[in-house]
Amino acid sequence: MSVPLTLLGLLEREPSHGYDLKRDYDAFFGRGKPLPFGQVYSTLGRLARDGKVVVSEVGPGDGPDRKRYLITERGATEVGQWLIEPVEPEPHLQTVLFAKVVLALMLDRPAEEYLDTQRAAHLQRMRELTEIKRSSSLVDGLLADHGLFHLEADLRWIETTGARLDALRKAVRP
């Protein structure tokens, strides 16, 4: 997740104070990992330094003055470019799952047990995501779907690899 570009996108929607940006970021993008206030303000400072946002007004607050940020044309251009660029497809060919199975086989350890343990962890996470999907908003439901589809692919890989462990063992052990 690109925090600077996401904040710029939120500012393109409407000029905002740092507090409002954090609230909206956390509501839509911060699932399980809220954005620290310090990161919001340091990011806004860098965006201002780089000419992507400006402070449109300063008003008194309970603590420091409240600054309202406005996206510049340069910032809007960057958001526009970012939105049309495709995201690099994931997962990458080298994953932790794969590395653990191969190393377990190389070290003559029980790769089957690792796959069983991993399968159980994936199924548990799928139950959690299914519950989120059932009981949450459309935004949370779509994020849960994304996670579920990735977990389903991992489970297919776990099953395929489990069926091929003997052949893989021969391929990775001298």
| DSSP secondary structure of the chain | --HHHHHHHHHHHS-EEHHHHHHHHHHHT-TTSPPPHHHHHHHHHHHHHTTSEEEEEEE--SSSPEEEEEE-HHHHHHHHHHHHSPPPPSS-SS-HHHHHHHHHHHTT--HHHHHHHHHHHHHHHHHHHHHHHHHS-HHHHHHHHHHHHHHHHHHHHHHHHHHTHHHHHHHH--
Is 90 part of any domain?
A: no
For the record, the structure tokens of 159 come out as 């099953």
Q: Is the pTM of this model over 0.75?
A: no
On whether both 106 and 168 belong to a single domain, the answer is: yes
pLDDT tens digits, 17-43: 999 999 999 988 887 789 999 999 999
Domain span at residue 53? 3-84
pLDDT of residue 30: 84
Identify the domain boundary among 59, 84, 109: 84
pLDDT of residue 145: 96
CA pair distance 164, 141, nearest whole angstrom:
34
* CB-side neighbour CA atoms (13 Å) of 60: 1
pLDDT tens digits, 116-145: 999 999 999 999 999 999 999 999 999 999
pLDDT tens digits, 1-11: 689 999 999 99
Identify the domain boundary among 84, 108, 127: 84
pLDDT of residue 61: 59
On whether both 66 and 7 belong to a single domain, the answer is: yes
CA pair distance 141, 131, nearest whole angstrom:
9
Identify the domain boundary among 84, 111, 130: 84
Q: Is the pLDDT of residue 90 over 70?
A: no
pLDDT of residue 1: 66
On whether both 155 and 135 belong to a single domain, the answer is: yes
Q: Region 91-102: what's the mean pLDDT?
A: 78
